[in-house]
């Protein structure tokens, strides 16, 4: 289905050009900007349901000269295309998807949940019910024939069976026939082609036997075969819906629109896609925030469990930032929009969740290659089985066709196609429940391989908030002057001093200036005052009475010609840092701290945590050189960091993790992002990655073992089409069930509802409960 339904079979050239221009405008309007030259357009493709479909879409779209990347997500039925602006007619993407035999539509963030709430499971269940009803009734008639009915009675029972079977097979088999026909029209093969061929061949044999008065008819086999195939397809669809449930839940957190406050203070409702940066939106109690913004008016309690994982409401006021998907609980607030919906926090989380299945790691590439050769191999094996049995039996085409049908069914590589993506989707969902997001499914494989973990110190192992531990400053007017300087500085150490000093600001401090790398200075009644780096403050101070018992790495304060007062500043370890290091030490992986901080601070943290390897004074270049040095020696590095200076190291490492409060560049560079404050996310993610790797290998072993045993038996004639259908469905169910074992085990915190990740109701007061329930 083209985006513009007005396409006719053979439109005039001028009319087609008009339609192409319209389609191109629609595509451009629905695309998101990646950078100056690249755009991304997302499509929903409901008919995509196997590895062959993915390969066909990615290969055909990837051949367009202006397309730089294509990723098809099987669980979400979504295709993401990255293309270069101005390099070609982008309406060709639309035509290419249609020419490949797939109906499609543009992806709409506001309607994501509705897109995935399709009727596929309902339709499959109806088809399954019809096939089951027909199979039971035909089986009763067949039992009568097997029990001794002969002559006209047997013919009558065959006729009645045919009357039931033909419409049942034609109706219930539509999910397979429609997919197979679309593939053949596009001159490609998918796994529904051999399935459809097998079912129709069984039905055709049954009709033929009935028409020529044969002793046996296969109506029961044809219908029962379809019944078990539908069971497998329905369960597979059900499992995929469950696997993508986290993304659908996220989509349901997205508001459909918001109340716009115009410059004349009037209000109007606008859709989500109409919201632009710098607009002012009004968020009422019980409403979810549509896009990221900053509060410019009002005060309220917000449910930010989606962001922090903490169920306790957070107070927001003027200047506070709010994220898309968070819920306003109590008060009316106005926000100024920071980003549109496609670049919001909620959209980013959704993209990260979707990326889990899109990863093209080593295991995924192996599965793709094997599944790629399977489609033609299935038909070749079935043809060889037919020819071989025709030769062996002297031309018994009944038995030869019967064996070929069994081979067509049993060689379907559904289990192989499910081996990797199902585990990755379930693994991503498992991490999401604990507030951890994965950017790429291949991250699981890379994390499983690490030999060494390198931690940044500030903001990673420590809480990143410096605190004054002790000071020599008195409680006189100098403390007030020091506070006046501190509150006018943006440096974290200055903010720590401002928090420490309880005295009110005193004196009139003029011409305050922050000196980068040194501190802040100002003039008090003609006297220079400085707060900052010790040696810089010494330049104006009388140092005879300085106190050398405090750390030389703290801050100093002095008025010109007066003694120095010192502030001993330190950072606190994250409360869970010791437990995190202990858990990681048990795994046998080497641990190292690599920080740009001073020697004494890094050494102190390393000693507190029991980490023997540490490096201090490391610039971003030094960190990259250290990572490259270790990786060239054969060890694979996991880098954990949060700062702007950690971003190059996060990108250079084999795999990387960053907290959600890291800078934007650090989060973009990391493979995993944890949204809660607990550092225990690191060993938990490592554990899930190792379990994911084991389950993928087990799934490969199960799929290969199944095919190694089943194919020879089917070609040898020991397996009937009915048994083949049961075995094929069972192999897929076994692989999915094995993958679901990843859900077992405890998490890293229970502050939120483990099913939804939403606010725990027992943490709210009665008024807040009422607001949430109404919402």
Which residues does the annotation mark as catalytic? 456
What one-character-per-residue DSSP string does 70-102 give? EEEETTTTEEEEEEETTSS-THHHHHHHHHTT-
Residue 217 · residue 132 · CB < 8 Å: no
Task: Please give the Cα distance from 180 to 201 (Å, whole number).
Answer: 15
Q: How far apart are CA 359 and CA 365, in angstroms?
A: 10
Give residue 738's Cα distance to chain centre: 21
Q: Which candidate, 62, 79, 57, 700, places its Cα nearest to that of 370?
A: 700
Q: Helices 120-146 and 219-243 sit at what angle, rounded to 10 degrees?
A: 150
d(CA 260, CA 267): 5
Is residue 441 within 8 Å of residue 364, measured between CB atoms? yes
Query: 515-518, long-range: CB within 8 Å, 24+ apart, which pairs?
Result: none
The answer to whether 591 and 584 are in contact (CB under 8 A) is yes
What is the torsional sign of CA 401, 406, 409, 410? negative
514 Cβ contact list (under 8 Å, min separation 6): 488, 489, 490, 491, 520
DSSP output for 201-218: HHHHHHHHHHHTT-S---
Distance CA 225, CA 231 (A): 10
What is the C-alpha to C-alpha distance for residues 701 and 695, in angstroms, rounded to an integer? 10
Query: Taking CA 28 as the corner, what is the angle to CA 23 and CA 30, rounded to the nearest 5 degrees?
Result: 95
Strands 672-674, 655-659: pairing is parallel
| 117 Cβ neighbours under 8 A, 6+ residues apart | 248
Taking the C-alpha atoms of residue 308 and residue 677, their distance in angstroms, rounded to an integer, is 7
Contact status, residue 391 vs residue 339, Cβ threshold 8 Å? no
Structure letter (DSSP) for residue 763? G
CB 581 within 8 A of CB 605: no
Count of other CB atoms within 10 angstroms of residue 737: 12
Helix (H/G/I), strand (E/B), else coil: 675: coil
Beta strand pairing call for 590-594 and 614-615 = parallel
- SS3 sequence of 570-609: ECCECCCHHHHHHHHHHCCCEEEEECCCCHHHHHHHHHHH
Q: How far apart are CA 328 and CA 315, in angstroms?
A: 10
d(CA 310, CA 394): 74
Alpha carbon of 745 to those of 66, 310, 688: distances in Å?
Answer: 46, 21, 10
């Amino acid at each position: 289905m083209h985006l513009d339904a007005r396409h006719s079979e053979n439109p005039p050239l001028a009319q087609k050009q008009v339609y192409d221009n319209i389609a191109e405008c629609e595509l451009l309007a629905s695309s998101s900007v990646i950078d100056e030259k690249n755009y991304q357009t997302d499509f929903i493709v409901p008919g995509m349901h196997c590895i062959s479909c993915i390969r066909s879409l990615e290969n055909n779209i990837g051949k367009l000269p202006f397309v730089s990347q294509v990723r098809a997500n099987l669980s979400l039925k979504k295709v993401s295309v990255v293309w270069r602006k101005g390099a070609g007619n982008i309406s060709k993407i639309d035509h290419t998807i249609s020419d490949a035999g797939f109906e499609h539509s543009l992806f709409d963030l506001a309607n994501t949940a509705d897109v995935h709430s399709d009727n596929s499971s309902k339709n499959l269940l109806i088809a399954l019910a019809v096939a089951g009803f027909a199979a039971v009734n035909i089986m009763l008639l067949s039992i009568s024939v097997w029990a001794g009915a002969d002559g006209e009675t047997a013919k009558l029972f065959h006729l009645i069976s045919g009357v039931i079977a033909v419409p049942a097979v034609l109706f219930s088999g539509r999910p397979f026939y429609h997919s197979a026909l679309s593939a053949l029209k596009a001159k490609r093969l998918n796994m529904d082609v051999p399935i459809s061929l097998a079912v129709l061949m069984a039905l055709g044999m049954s009709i033929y036997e009935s028409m020529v008065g044969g002793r046996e008819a296969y109506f029961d086999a044809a219908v029962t075969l379809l019944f078990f195939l539908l069971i497998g397809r329905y369960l597979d669809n059900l499992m995929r819906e469950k696997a993508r449930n986290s993304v659908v839940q996220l989509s349901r957190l997205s508001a459909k629109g918001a109340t716009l406050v115009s410059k004349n203070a009037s209000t109007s409702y606008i859709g989500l896609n109409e919201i632009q940066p710098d607009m002012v939106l009004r968020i009422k109690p019980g409403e979810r925030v549509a896009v990221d913004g900053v509060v410019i008016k009002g005060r309220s309690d917000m449910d930010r469990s989606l962001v922090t994982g903490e169920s306790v409401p957070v107070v927001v006021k003027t200047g506070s930032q709010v994220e898309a998907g968070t819920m306003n609980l109590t008060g009316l607030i106005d926000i100024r929009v920071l980003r549109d919906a496609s670049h919001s926090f909620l959209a980013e989380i959704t993209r990260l969740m979707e990326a889990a299945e899109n990863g093209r790691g080593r295991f995924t590439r192996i599965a793709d290659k094997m599944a790629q050769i399977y489609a033609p191999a299935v038909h070749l094996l079935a043809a060889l089985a037919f020819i071989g049995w025709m030769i062996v039996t002297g031309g018994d085409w009944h038995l030869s066709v019967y064996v070929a049908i069994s081979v067509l069914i049993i060689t379907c590589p559904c289990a192989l196609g499910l081996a990797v993506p199902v585990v990755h989707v379930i693994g991503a969902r498992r991490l999401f429940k604990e507030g951890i997001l994965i950017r790429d499914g291949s991250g699981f494989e890379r994390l499983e391989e690490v030999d060494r973990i390198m931690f940044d110190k500030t903001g990673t192992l420590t809480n990143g908030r410096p605190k004054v531990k002790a000071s020599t400053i008195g409680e006189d007017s100098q403390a007030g002057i020091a506070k006046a300087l501190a509150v006018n500085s943006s440096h974290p150490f200055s903010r720590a001093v401002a928090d420490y000093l309880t005295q009110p600001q005193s004196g009139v401090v003029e011409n305050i200036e922050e000196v980068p790398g040194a501190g802040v200075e100002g003039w008090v009644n003609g006297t220079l005052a400085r707060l900052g780096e010790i040696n810089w403050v010494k330049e104006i101070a009388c140092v005879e009475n300085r106190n050398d018992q405090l750390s030389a790495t703290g801050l100093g304060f002095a008025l010109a010609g007066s003694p120095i007062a010192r502030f001993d500043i330190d950072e606190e370890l994250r409360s869970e840092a010791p437990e995190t290091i202990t858990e990681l030490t048990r795994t046998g992986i080497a641990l190292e701290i690599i920080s740009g901080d001073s020697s004494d601070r890094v050494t102190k943290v390393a000693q507190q945590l029991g980490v023997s390897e540490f490096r201090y004074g490391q610039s971003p270049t030094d960190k990259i050189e250290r990572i490259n040095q270790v990786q060239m020696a054969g060890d694979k590095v996991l880098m954990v960091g949060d700062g702007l200076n950690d971003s190059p190291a996060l990108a250079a490492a084999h795999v990387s993790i960053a907290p959600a409060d890291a800078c934007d560049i650090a989060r973009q560079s990391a493979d995993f992002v944890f949204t809660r404050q607990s550092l225990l996310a690191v060993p938990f993610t490592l554990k899930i990655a190792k379990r994911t790797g084991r389950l993928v290998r087990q799934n490969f072993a199960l799929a290969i073992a199944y095919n190694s045993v089943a194919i020879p038996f089917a070609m040898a004639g020991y397996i009937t089409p009915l048994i083949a259908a049961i075995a094929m469905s069972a192999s897929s169910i076994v692989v999915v069930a094995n993958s679901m074992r990843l859900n077992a085990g405890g998490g890293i915190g229970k502050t939120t509802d483990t099913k939804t990740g939403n606010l725990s109701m027992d943490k709210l007061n009665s008024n807040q409960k009422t607001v949430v329930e109404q919402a």
